[in-house]
Structure 1
Amino acid sequence: MSFFLETLFGGLMSGMLYSLIGLGFVLIFKASGVFNFAQGAMVLVAALSMARFSVWIPHWLGFDHLILANVLAFIVSAGVMWLMAVAIERLVLRHLVNQEATTLLMATLGIAYFLEGSGQIAFGSSVYSVNVGMPKEPAFILDSVFQGGLLINLEDLTAALISALLVAGLALFFQVTATGRALRAVADDHQAAQSIGIPLNKIWVIVWTVAGLVALVAGIIWGSKFGVQFTLATATLRALPVVILGGLTSVPGAIIGGLLIGVGEKLSEVYIGPMVGGGIEIWFAYVLALVFLLFRPQGLFGEKIIDRV
């Protein structure tokens, strides 16, 4: 039983990382109707920025304090993501208002390749580490319930708590604030939103900035756990099944979809993998996403679109 719970907990923690990347997809699609293939590149640039500025800033200012260096690096990296959002809106999105979804999708592919290339130019192509002081040592819990207790990774637990707080804040933002409601209105109909005075360009900058901050948090957690390297941009592919399961328009759905996939991957690899020769963890998420596309294409919490003629 303890081994099962340890595997389950590990799956939940992996799922939270998938969820954070999937959340960026949902935020931008929710507010602009754009399926953002550049989200993985945004995570990469954010992680590179955090990794490099946390080293450069102490060197420039002549101090050696981990917490202060990370705080300043986070602020600078958040500024980088905001500048990126402004540039994307002014150079790309404002010229593609009311264009076909395919056109917008191809634009995000171009943005992704540009971000990967510019990230390599600005920050280099080495493998970097992100040290934000997250605990690395495992810990045993529930000693009185299970013999020997359950082994958990405190870094994963910390990352899960941070992710949960971020998701709760974003859910409130979309449901309660006037800006959140404006974001949903823009997603429904660009022209209608403009006709009632909602500034489309401003809304797009806001949502891409928020998605950039989510990418920054995901990049910090991912970089702290695995290091920052350019293969991080391919994390987009890992997040696609997440948004298919949860629904492209649901913030909670992105989280639940990520958790389901994380748990499913771990449990299937541990308990079914030995029977079929292993490798289930590689394709499990995509097979599950295919099943959903066949029988429930809007996902668990997505809005079912009905076209009336």
Structure 2
Amino acid sequence: MLYNIFIDPFVQMVQMPDLLVQTLWEGLVSGVLYALIALGFVLIFKASGVFNFAQGIMVVFSALTLVGFYAKFSSWGFSGHAAAFLALLLAAGVMLVLAMLVERVVLRPLVTQPDIILFMATFGITYVLIGFGEIVFGGDPKQMIANELFLPSGSVDIEMLGGLVSLQKIDIAAAVIASLMIVGLALFFQKTRIGRALRAVADSHKAALSVGISLNQIWVIVWFAAGLVALVTGIMWGARSDVSFALEIVALKALPVLVLGGFTSVPGAIVGGLIIGVGEKLGEFYWGPLLGGGIESWLAYVIALVFLLYRPQGLFGDKIIERI
């Protein structure tokens, strides 16, 4: 038994390196998408100090909105690609309206309340979006309009290490687009005036207000950015499977990513996402048969629990010391 757990998986990795590369690639793609979801959590937490539990359902809601608009435009006679990109613009507009509504209806009235009140408010936002989404779009899975958005299909087979490694083209596109978006958002919030204002708000709301920074505007910008992140994530995950409310469970994989990387760190979201993505794929492929499978559904949370025990602030989080 000990041999099967501690030695045999590594023997398999050495004997079949092509399968190891295949598994690592699939883990990297999942990890980049997890990191993109986690980035939405990080942006809102940095700006308001509130953990946005609704980020997961925002991924689903934005994707359903895109598919819903596309179906409507197609019924009006628009061509496939034209309908898809019009739907994409309107879906982004819906996320902007959602950001403005959240700021006006939720954040502004509760700004003086304890963080736990704002956290519970994001639960309310979650169930409002679920209910509204089910009323408007129904509960049946929808097919993502990948071809209409010029996302590739098929696979690329590469001979390496004595075997064949198959790379799905949609996975390559997802990894590239998600990576570019992560880098773009990181540079935007690091190098621009809005980014400096965001960092000021993250350090102290009162200090930011004292130098003329509008919390309301910053919150709208950050929630809109998180909405765009959710939209891109919904497109990529939806292109790999169907668009349904089950995607919210996938989106919540960002929670262990945040525990690993730190709730306020963009680099932490990236590194944490890659660790979780690669770790769960390796665990499922090499150790899953020993435990009857299903490791991929819970391994991420076990890794997060271990980090909570030994480094609760995460790899890149700030260690907070309170003096009494």
TM-score above 0.5: yes
Give 1:34's aligned residue.
50
1:124 Cα deviation from its structure 2 partner: 2.1
How many residues align? The count is 305
Equivalent of residue 138 in structure 1, options 155, 165, 172: 155
Establish whether residue 151 from structure 1 lines up as the match of residue 166 from structure 2.
Answer: yes
Equivalent of residue 72 in structure 1, options 68, 71, 86: 86
How far apart in 2 are the matches of 1:274 and 1:234? 23
SS of equivalent residue, structure 2 residue 212: coil
Establish whether residue 275 from structure 1 lines up as the match of residue 290 from structure 2.
Answer: yes
How far apart in 2 are the matches of 1:200 and 1:108? 18
Equivalent of residue 95 in structure 2, options 75, 81, 98: 81
For residues 226-249 of structure 1, give each alpha carbon's deviation from its aligned partner in whole angstroms, at most 9, with x where no partner exists: 111112223343211011111111
Tell me if structure 2 keeps the 8 A contact 1:97–1:190. Answer: no
When normalised by structure 2's length, the TM-score is 0.90
1:101 Cα deviation from its structure 2 partner: 1.3
Establish whether residue 122 from structure 1 lines up as the match of residue 136 from structure 2.
Answer: yes
Give 1:188's aligned residue.
203
1:148 Cα deviation from its structure 2 partner: 4.2
How far apart in 2 are the matches of 1:76 and 1:283? 36
1:301 Cα deviation from its structure 2 partner: 1.2
- Aligned partner of 2:156: which letter? A
Aligned-pair identity in percent equals 57
Tell me if structure 1 keeps the 8 A contact 2:59–2:251. Answer: no
How far apart in 1 are the matches of 2:88 and 2:318? 35
How far apart in 2 are the matches of 1:153 and 1:8? 13
Give 1:100's aligned residue.
114
Tell me if structure 2 keeps the 8 A contact 1:16–1:255. Answer: yes
Establish whether residue 57 from structure 1 lines up as the match of residue 73 from structure 2.
Answer: yes
1:162 Cα deviation from its structure 2 partner: 0.2
Give 1:203's aligned residue.
218
For residues 191-219 of structure 1, give each alpha carbon's deviation from its aligned partner in whole angstroms, at most 9, with x where no partner exists: 22111110011110000000000000001
SS of equivalent residue, structure 1 residue 69: helix
How far apart in 2 are the matches of 1:78 and 1:63? 19
How far apart in 2 are the matches of 1:306 and 1:193? 23
Establish whether residue 253 from structure 1 lines up as the match of residue 274 from structure 2.
Answer: no
Give 1:238's aligned residue.
253
Tell me if structure 1 keeps the 8 A contact 2:146–2:152. Answer: no
- Aligned partner of 1:14: which letter? S
How far apart in 2 are the matches of 1:307 and 1:177? 32
Equivalent of residue 307 in structure 2, options 292, 295, 303: 292
How far apart in 2 are the matches of 1:284 and 1:105? 26
For residues 114-168 of structure 1, give each alpha carbon's deviation from its aligned partner in whole angstroms, at most 9, with x where no partner exists: 0111111222222111122222312112x3x433432111111110000000000
1:276 Cα deviation from its structure 2 partner: 3.0
- Aligned partner of 1:128: which letter? K
- Aligned partner of 1:194: which letter? L
How far apart in 2 are the matches of 1:275 and 1:2? 21
Structure 1, 116-125 or 39-48: larger mean CA deviation: 116-125
How far apart in 2 are the matches of 1:152 and 1:280? 23
How far apart in 1 are the matches of 2:214 and 2:281? 45
- Aligned partner of 2:213: which letter? I
Query: Which structure 1 segments of 5+ residues have no match?
Result: none
Tell me if structure 1 keeps the 8 A contact 2:280–2:296. Answer: yes
